[in-house]
Amino acid sequence: MRARLFALCLVWVCALPPVYAQQAAPLARPASAFSAGVPTEWFSLALLLTQQTPGYSPPVASRALAYLGLALYESVVPGMPQHQSLAGQLNELQSLPWAQPDEVLHWPTVANTSMAAMTRMMFPVASAENKARIDLLERSLPLKYSQDFDPNTLTPEITNRSETFGKLMAMALMTWARTDGGHEAWGPLRRTQQNYVPPSGEGQWVATPPAFAPALLPWWGDVRPFVLKTGGTCAAPPHPPYSESPGSDFYKEGMEVYQISSKATQEQRQVSLYWADDPLKTPTPAGHWAFIANDLLRLQKADLAQVAHTMVRLNLAMADAFVASWKTKYTTHLLRPVTYVQLVIDSNWVPTLMHTPPFPEYPSGHSVQSSAAAGILDVALGTNKPFVDNTHNDRGWGPRTFASFKAAADEAAISRMYAGIHFRSGIEGGKVQGRCVAQQVLGLKLTRKEDR
């Protein structure tokens, strides 16, 4: 692999740092001259693959989407004047290929090839049918978006050169991805990974009914983040001290979950189910927000450069949000409401809308990643911007209209308490952590004159 990458790098300038590299030839049209068709189609397929591929739990799905967003951005950034590569800014990513200054590249072709290659590598256990969908989409996009693939200007030489660069970029990013600690999450447990044994003691997490499944991805908090220095960079505030005494803050939170989930209104039940975003039924929480952004960018007739700029920040933020929240979960090891309520309040109680996921309580992962996503979209698409969420229309649950991205994130967060699977402190602490992640990602310098 290294020898092949080195040989390919002889064809292209491997810039370090890329900010000093020259842009593509003046004769090449910039990425902003092309439509959003290619990337939005690829993200749509990625969400389908996420929903239909076993093993794509929320953290794993967020990682796959982040590498797809990064492959898109890095493959077309040489065609985005005033933009620069994220090599040198992301953890342990020092350099990436850069286009020759005197060679014309066709950015939709580059993006199509790069995202096709990265999709194959991010979903290696997809079904044969879905692998065929990847091949078909790569072949069909030049025909579907013929306005972006004009045969009068797109010569075979330019096509071949663009495809080579797209493949090279995907390969370089995948070489880096294999070192992040999360690459084998979709497959069997790694032999070097020790079995997780949850700590015992008062207030500590234990497996929950009805399945009493083992802890999910207990080491995910040690996966290398993209932007955060470590999984502990954005710490959630402390939760109330554990207590079984009536009148204590912790007891009040347990009683609140018990009473609300037991007497949830029809609206609260709908909110709970709308934001459940279960694996293998939906594209997971990160996929929900990726759908929202992808849909809005398509409706707004964004160009290729705008999609690349928005989707890379959104998906990096959500991936780092899961690393941060998982690090906190498996540091605090706090028990879930079902355990607390059965122990202290009502031994027969179980949440009625959904089963408790198999990992510790604090903080709410939905709250962290939704707040991180909203923080990015506020900057990318507008603060206090009303929008329509069409994510679950095909399931008969939409569309739903929200006054702002923050309003949607707040609803996603509180939905977990309505469902009986999170305490209020897990929700509020998660929102704080998610906002921190968003700010860290917004600190990336995508442009020389940053437009944050």
Q: Which range among 148-157, 293-302, 317-326, 330-339 shows the weakest confidence by mean pLDDT?
A: 148-157
Assess if residue 411 is contained within a domain: yes
Are the beta carbons of 368 and 429 closer than 8 angstroms?
Answer: no
C-alpha span between 368 and 118 (Å, rounded): 26
C-alpha span between 129 and 61 (Å, rounded): 19
The β-bridge partners of 15 are 96
pLDDT of amino acid 398: 85
The predicted-structure confidence for 366-379, as pLDDT tens digits, reads as follows: 999 999 999 999 99
Assess if residue 143 is contained within a domain: yes
Assess if residue 183 is contained within a domain: no
Residue 226 pLDDT greater than 80, yes or no: yes
C-alpha span between 148 and 236 (Å, rounded): 45
Which of 123, 157, 177 is a domain's end point?
Answer: 177
pLDDT of amino acid 100: 86
The predicted-structure confidence for 283-324, as pLDDT tens digits, reads as follows: 999 999 999 999 999 999 999 999 999 999 999 999 999 999
pLDDT of amino acid 20: 30
Assess if residue 4 is contained within a domain: no
Same domain as 100, residue 246: no
Assess if residue 193 is contained within a domain: no
Which of 149, 177, 205 is a domain's end point?
Answer: 177
Selected residue with higher pLDDT from 12 and 181: 181
Mean pLDDT (the chain) is 92
Q: Of 409, 268, 262, 275, which is closest to residue 337 (Cα–Cα)? A: 262
Q: Look-up: residue for tokens 């013929």? A: 146
Q: Of 200, 207, 375, which is closest to residue 293 (Cα–Cα)? A: 375
Same domain as 32, residue 154: yes
Burial of 89 (0-12, 13-18, 19+ CB in 10 A): middle
Q: Which range among 8-12, 122-126, 281-285, 294-298 shows the weakest confidence by mean pLDDT?
A: 8-12
C-alpha span between 441 and 70 (Å, rounded): 13
Same domain as 103, residue 233: no
Q: Summarize the confidence of residues 345-356 as an average pLDDT.
A: 95
Backbone angles phi, psi at 305, to 5 degrees: -65, -40
Structural domain of 129: 11-177
Same domain as 233, residue 166: no
Q: Look-up: residue for tokens 């309520």? A: 341
Which range among 21-25, 183-187, 190-194, 240-244 has the greatest average pLDDT?
240-244
Q: How far is CA 91 from the centre of its chain?
A: 17
Same domain as 402, residue 285: yes
Assess if residue 451 is contained within a domain: no
Task: Identify the band that residue 192 occupies on the pLDDT scale cut at 50, 70 and 90.
Answer: low
pLDDT of amino acid 15: 43
C-alpha span between 126 and 114 (Å, rounded): 18
Assess if residue 139 is contained within a domain: yes
Residue 78: is the preceding peptide bond cis (ω within 30°)?
no
CATH number of the domain within which 23 lies: 1.10.606.20
Task: Identify the band that residue 28 occupies on the pLDDT scale cut at 50, 70 and 90.
Answer: confident
Same domain as 364, residue 268: yes
Task: Identify the band that residue 448 occupies on the pLDDT scale cut at 50, 70 and 90.
Answer: confident
The total of structural domains in the chain comes to 2
pLDDT of amino acid 95: 96
Return the CA Rg of the chain.
22
- The pair of structure tokens assigned to 245 is 């005494």
pLDDT of amino acid 190: 52
pLDDT of amino acid 193: 64
Residue 102 pLDDT greater than 90, yes or no: no
Task: Identify the band that residue 13 occupies on the pLDDT scale cut at 50, 70 and 90.
Answer: very low
Residue 254's identity, in one-letter code, is: G
C-alpha span between 334 and 344 (Å, rounded): 15
Task: Identify the band that residue 172 occupies on the pLDDT scale cut at 50, 70 and 90.
Answer: very high
Confidence (pTM): 0.93
pLDDT of amino acid 9: 45
Same domain as 22, residue 146: yes
Assess if residue 194 is contained within a domain: no
Selected residue with higher pLDDT from 435 and 451: 435
* Other Cβ atoms closer than 10 A to 392: 19
